[in-house]
Amino acid sequence: MPKIKFHKVAAVVVLIATAAWVATGEFSSVGSAADEADARRAAETQEERPAPVRTVAVVKAPRIEHSRAIRISGYTDADKRAVLATRAAGIIEDLPISLGSQVKRGDLIARLEAEGKESTVETARQLLAQREAEAAAARQLAERGSLPKLQLDNVLSALASARSQLEQAQADLERNVLRAPFDGVIDKVDVEVGSAVQPGTAVATILNLDPVLARGEVSERDLGYVKPGDAADVRLVNGREVKGQLRHISREASAATRTFRVEVAIPNEDGSVPAGMTAEITLRAEPVTATVLPRSVVTLSAGGDLGVRAVGADNKVVFFPIDLVDDTPGGLILGGIPEDVRIIVAGQELISEGDTVNPVEADEETIRKLVGEVTGSTQ
């Protein structure tokens, strides 16, 4: 029997052992176990190491009494406007007005040719005088019993008829005269002397520009902040700024826009503010206590709300939604911020609500830069 060599037996044993190890799969977890151990040690190290505390600059923002500003687009308009038209047919005989003429209520605007109407009035007046004399004589006779009552009634009826004829003739003559219904300025003249007109023909347009009105529409959201009598600032398209007073707020919203029409009365004695000019109207509501802050301080919360971040008593970050009271050239006037809150003015974008921070009072230069211009713009 041939003898099996030792090295062959050893090779077979190693092959069988290797196959058994591969079959168990234990070799595949050697690297993973090492990786898991390293990750576990790193996590434990991070848990033991405290999170870094950020340093932020804070200020106690100044608080002022400021009127809420509601800005709307609008235009100027005349307080009164009328197109004066003829009440009778005829020829223009007198036209004492011209473009830009200042007129008072009752001033003559135009007169038509009388065309016999004056003689009709005079005839009616003479007839009335005659009927009055007849009535006086009839009364005396009736008192003495010399005139039957029925005949006296006929005389008095004739007197009333004569009086009515005179009134009618005078009214017919008065229709030839056109007068100003209110104080104003002549903005348009549609006829000339000698023009033939029919009843209803436009003669002139008269405007009353004192006060001049600024008209606009306020949203339903802002309606509760304003009332008649509130002050208003109006900036015209040419850059001129004038002051007025809110005179009227419509009580019915526009069906299309759900906005309410408002009118601001602006003193305009010299007539320098014309009608029809584009204007920006700023309505000033009752003053409220507000905080003065620059635009750079305003940020967004995690939920997307507009507001400011501040530091509470426990040095944790809190968020306050804001109410925009006014937007001035120097910064924002904000409501909804509690008193004595430390507002974060530097670093607010790098933190979130609930974070613990190291608040440091901003230096004087920073404070002056942040709120100095704003304070000056609101005084």
CA triple 124-129-130, angle to 5 deg = 95
| Domains within the chain, CATH numbers bracketed | 54-63+289-378 (2.40.420.20), 71-78+209-287 (2.40.30.170), 83-203 (2.40.50.100)
pLDDT digits (tens, 9 = 90+) for 123-148: 888 988 988 888 888 888 877 777 78
pLDDT digits (tens, 9 = 90+) for 321-339: 888 888 877 778 888 788 7
- Pairing of the two strands 184-189 and 241-249: unpaired
- pLDDT of 24 reads 60
Over 80: is that where the pLDDT of 273 sits? yes
Over 50: is that where the pLDDT of 361 sits? yes
* Residues 6 or more apart whose Cβ sits within 8 Å of residue 238: 277
| Mean pLDDT computed over every residue of the chain | 81
- pLDDT of 50 reads 57
Quick one: pLDDT band at residue 247, thresholds 50, 70, 90?
Answer: very high
Average pLDDT over residues 207-212: 93
Average pLDDT over residues 202-225: 92
> 324 with 334: CB under 8 angstroms?
yes
- pLDDT of 65 reads 82
Percent residues over pLDDT 70 in the chain: 81
Over 60: is that where the pLDDT of 29 sits? no
> 179 with 109: CB under 8 angstroms?
yes
Quick one: pLDDT band at residue 365, thresholds 50, 70, 90?
Answer: low
Average pLDDT over residues 101-117: 89
Quick one: pLDDT band at residue 173, thresholds 50, 70, 90?
Answer: confident
Q: Say whether 29 sits in a helix, a strand or coil.
A: helix
Q: Which amino acid is at 379?
A: Q
Closest CA to 63 of 364, 378, 289: 289
For the entire predicted model, the pTM comes to 0.63
